[in-house]
Amino acid sequence: MAIPGIFIYYCYRYDKAINGILYSIMGFLGLLAGYFIWIVQAMFNKHAWPVSIFADTGMVLFVFLWSLRYAEFQTLWQGIFYDKDLMEPAI
């Protein structure tokens, strides 16, 4: 659960930088969709598959497609946005 949490928090920081909320929501919806697909495949398969195969893939895929739609892919994935909490020292 650490990796999905870190990724959703990264999306939240990006949302804060661009004054939006959609990337963290898309990451969370992708995580839920991945969990749902994992539950469905677990009902029909004899052997269990790791949940991270579905949950992490769904989460990254949702955010990836959303960033491509709004032409923010380079900014999001290279981390070249202004983050006030990281750029300014805490006093």
- Give the total number of structural domains in the chain: 1
CA–CA distance, 78 with 74 (Å, rounded to integer): 6
pLDDT one-digit tens code per residue, 7-65: 998 899 888 888 889 999 999 999 999 999 999 999 998 888 898 889 999 899 999 99
pTM for this entry: 0.81
| Residue at 87 is within a domain | no
Of the pLDDT bands very low, low, confident and very high (cuts 50, 70, 90), residue 86 is: low
**Is 15:24 a contact under the CB 8 Å cutoff?**
yes
Q: By the 8 A CB rule, do 4 and 51 touch?
A: no
- Structural domain includes residue 32: yes
Give the pair of three-digit tokens for residue 44: 């029909």
pLDDT of residue 78: 85
- Residue 86 in any domain: the answer is no
Q: Sign of the C-alpha dihedral, residues 15, 20, 23, 29?
A: positive
Instruction: Yes or no: say if 63 and 12 are a contact pair by the CB < 8 Å rule.
Output: no
Domain of residue 47: give its range: 2-81
